[in-house]
Amino acid sequence: MPDTRLISEDLRVGSRAMSCFVKDYEVQYHEIDQRGFARPLALLNYLQSAAGEHATMLGVAVADLRKSGHTWVMSRLHLVMERYPRGADTIRIRTWPATRNTLFTVRDFELFDMDGALIGRATTSWAVLNLKTRRPVKLVSVLPMYPLNPERALNDTFSTLPFPERTEYELRLPVLRGDLDINRHVNNTVYAGWALETIPEDVDNSCRLAAIEIGFRSEVLYGDTIVARSATAAEPGCYLHCIESAGDGRELARLRTRWLPFENAHQ
């Protein structure tokens, strides 16, 4: 289990420190790949966990929102990794809400090793969903005000990700109960796992994931079947991905991944 130690910070409401949350996570054996490095999905789970704990401190956790019939949903994610931790390494994640407008709030992350070196950065965009209508609502109607930290880990404006016009690799998978989260739809990290399964084996064997971007477009529920498609992009080392419903063809998510050979990957 992740290390639950919270690093000492000034948590006075309204202070700049209150807008940031810091936590350590130890990479577990079951979270590493065949080379001994943390899997990207493990890191995405750490980010989600840190975001959830900070939201609890700010009074805007999923449990708080569900009291009024609402919940959080992620709309975009962009993770960039300079270096991956190994099994038993401890990493430090710093996270904060950076911006908030009518319908979306942005939460950013920095990942450090225990020497204080920055090894990764991420930015995410979130909306609040009405559980009955399944539609986003204005944040001001549901969320209390909380302190923001305007610095950005990644300056991403979340422009629309490109669609893979052709299919080079394809995978068809059922949605399992283990894919679901508390909202009873597929957890956002599962989309990333589906897309990464369509990467050619030779790329997976010789490269590491340097960046992943996800644009979430529709909910996926238990009993659905998805089709994950991917194709090489014009930029070397990049792949475009699309996840669709096998039943009605709905587009569920778009992704873009960037890969670097191990000799260029600082590992």
Q: Kindly state whether residues 70 and 117 are assigned to the same domain.
A: yes
Per residue in 33-57, pLDDT (tens digit) is 999 999 999 999 999 999 999 999 9
Last residue of a domain, one of 108, 126, 158: 158
User: For the chain, what is the domain count?
Assistant: 2
pLDDT of residue 247 exceeding 60: yes
Which own/partner pairs from 3-8 qualify as long-range (CB within 8 Å, at least 24 positions apart)?
A: 3/90, 7/92
Between CA 113 and CA 115 the distance in angstroms is 5
Report which of 227, 249, 256, 209 is spatially closest to residue 33, judged by C-alpha positions.
209
Q: What's the CATH number where 16 sits?
A: 3.10.129.10
Per residue in 109-131, pLDDT (tens digit) is 999 999 999 999 999 999 999 99
pLDDT over 90 for what percent of the chain?
Answer: 88
pLDDT at position 144 = 95
Last residue of a domain, one of 135, 158, 181: 158
Range of the domain at 43: 1-158
The one-character DSSP state at 227 is: E
Q: Kindly state whether residues 218 and 154 are assigned to the same domain.
A: no
> Which letter, b or e, does each residue of 183-204 get, where b requires 16 or more Cβ atoms within 10 Å of its Cβ?
eebbbbbbbbbbbbebbeeebe
Q: Kindly state whether residues 114 and 132 are assigned to the same domain.
A: yes
Q: Kindly state whether residues 50 and 132 are assigned to the same domain.
A: yes
pLDDT band at 184 (very low <50, low <70, confident <90, very high): confident
CB 243 within 8 A of CB 198: no
Q: Are strands 105-112 and 21-26 parallel, antiparallel or unpaired?
A: unpaired
